Homo-oligomer: A and B are copies of this chain.
Amino acid sequence: MSTEIEETVKRLTSFKGVKGLFVINQDGIPIRYTFEPELVTHYAALVHQLVNQTRAIVRELDSTDDLVTLRVRSKNHELIIAPEKEYCMCVVHIPDVTHD
């Protein structure tokens, strides 16, 4: 895994409130993650599905458009999802934890 991704992972997980993050490949397979494998597999499958559904909707609204980021804020969590061509990174954040 490139040092650039490792540095990004380290920087992001150092933020207060970040429960963990994972990187999935084009098939939704987790290739880098900071929390338990069983939990990640579950998150990865659902996030992969959501990214594909959202990307299809974005393109249906405007065929020249493409998904850049997706933020899912729920009562207990926030998922910040950044889909790129080959990878997709998802940060799982606990919203009410204040930043330094």
Interface residues of A (CB under 8 A from B): 42-43, 46-47, 49-50, 53-54, 57-58, 60-62, 64-77
State A43–B60 Cα separation when bound (angstroms). 9
Task: Jot down 27 A-B pairs with beta carbons below 8 A, ordered by A.
Answer: A42-B61, A43-B61, A46-B57, A46-B60, A46-B61, A49-B53, A50-B57, A57-B72, A58-B72, A58-B74, A58-B77, A61-B77, A62-B74, A62-B76, A62-B77, A65-B74, A65-B76, A67-B72, A67-B73, A68-B73, A68-B75, A69-B73, A70-B70, A70-B71, A70-B73, A71-B71, A71-B73
State A61–B53 Cα separation when bound (angstroms). 17
